[in-house]
Amino acid sequence: MKKFLYVLSLIASATVVQAQNSEKELIKNTEQAAKKLADTIPNGWIKKGNISFLFNQSNFNNWTAGGENNLSGNLGINYDFNYKKNDVSWDNKVLASYGLLQSENSSFNKKTDDRLEFNSILGKQAFENWYYSFFLNFRTQFTKGYQYGKDANGAEIRNHTTSFLSPGYLTLGPGMYWKKNENLRINFAPLTSKFTFVDNTFTSTPGYVDGDYFGVDANKSMRYELGFYASAYYKFNLMTNVSFENTLNLYSNYLEDPQNVDIDYSLNVVLKINKYLSTNVQFQAIYDDNAFQGFQTREVFGLGVNYGF
C-alpha cells in the first residue's frame, strides 16, 4: 500500500511539474507572439493624431493678497502619418501649437506658445533594425513675436523681433536610421545641411547686423551650415494612462564653432483622465548660441480637452 501511494505521489508530482512547464511555455509563447505582432508594422499608411486645447483663467475680486485677472488658451496638434512597404519606411510628424494670454493690466495680448514643426525620415532597410536614411526637419512660428518693455512715462511698449519664417530653419541630409519600433528610433546624419531663413528687414536694422540676428550676416536673408545631426524619439507609458513622449535633436556645425552643439529637447506628458479630458505638461529647452547665449525654455501646463483622430 505504501509503495502504491509513493508511486501515485510521484505520478501526481510529475503531472503538476509538467502542467507548470506547459503553462510557462504557453505564457512565454504568448508573450513572444504578442511582441512579434507589436513589432510587425503592416504595409501601407498608418495615420494618427491628437488635437488638444488647454485653458487657464484667474479672476480676483477684492483679493487683499493681490492678483491680476487673466485668461489664456493653447491649441495644439500632434499628427503622425507613416508609410511602410516591405523594406522601405517613411515616418512623418507635424507639431503645431499656438497660445494667447489676455491680462487685465496689459495693453497687448501676449503669446504663450507659437510653434510649427515638420519632421520626415525616409529609410530603406540595410540590416535588422538599421536603415539607410534621408531626413528633413523644418521649424518656424505662425505670427509676429515681440519684446515688451516700458517707455519713459511707464506705458507698456513692444518691439517687433520675429515673424513667420523669420527665423525659419530647414535641416536635411543622408544618414543611418535605427528603428526598434514606432516608439523608439534614432537617426544619425554626419553630412547635414542647415539653412536659417530670416527677413532681411531685420538684418539691415541697427541692432540686428553683423550676424546678431540668428547668426545671419548684415543685409542677408539666409545662413548656411554643414554639420553633424542626431535625433532620438522615445515614447513610453510610465503607468496606466500616463505617457511620456521625448524628442531630442542635436546639431554641430563643422564650419564654425563645432564645439557649440545646438540642442532641442521636447517633453510631452499626458495624464489621461478619460477619452476627452487630460492633464497636459509640455516642456521644451533649446540651446542655440546664434539665437541666444544660453538656454531657452518653454513650459505649458493645464487641463486639456483632447480629440484623437
Are 125 and 241 in a shared domain? Answer: yes
Are 9 and 51 in a shared domain? Answer: no
Question: Is the predicted pLDDT of residue 23 greater than 70, yes or no?
Answer: no
CATH code of the domain containing 149: 2.40.230
**H runs (alpha helix) in the chain:** 2-39, 200-203
CA 125 vs CA 55, 67, 133, 137, 179: distances in Å: 44, 58, 9, 21, 10
Are 56 and 21 in a shared domain? Answer: no
Are 22 and 56 in a shared domain? Answer: no
Are 22 and 60 in a shared domain? Answer: no
pTM to 2 decimal places? 0.80
Q: How large is the average pLDDT for residues 132-147?
A: 95
CA dihedral 33, 34, 40, 44 (to 10 degrees): 120
52 pLDDT tier (thresholds 50, 70, 90): confident
Tens of pLDDT along 190-236?
Answer: 999 999 999 988 998 877 776 779 999 888 999 999 999 999 999 99
H or E element: which one contains 47? strand 44-58
Are 68 and 211 in a shared domain? Answer: yes
Strand ranges in 141-206 using DSSP code E only, listed in sequence order: 145-150, 156-162, 168-181, 184-197
CA dihedral 115, 285, 281, 305 (to 10 degrees): 0
Give me the number of domains the chain comprises.
2
Are 287 and 141 in a shared domain? Answer: yes
For residue 180, give the nearest of 36, 31, 37, 39 by alpha carbon: 39
Are 115 and 230 in a shared domain? Answer: yes
Strand 277-287 and strand 184-197: the pairing is unpaired
Dihedral sign, CA of 97, 102, 106, 107? positive
Are 296 and 198 in a shared domain? Answer: yes
Q: What local confidence, expressed as pLDDT, does residue 306 receive? A: 74
Are 71 and 7 in a shared domain? Answer: no
Average pLDDT, the chain: 84
Tens of pLDDT along 167-196?
Answer: 999 999 999 999 998 899 999 999 999 999
Are 168 and 286 in a shared domain? Answer: yes
Are 159 and 31 in a shared domain? Answer: no
Q: Which residue has the higher pLDDT, 270 or 1?
A: 270
Domain that holds residue 163: 44-308
How far apart, in whole angstroms, are the C-alpha atoms of residue 302 and residue 305?
10
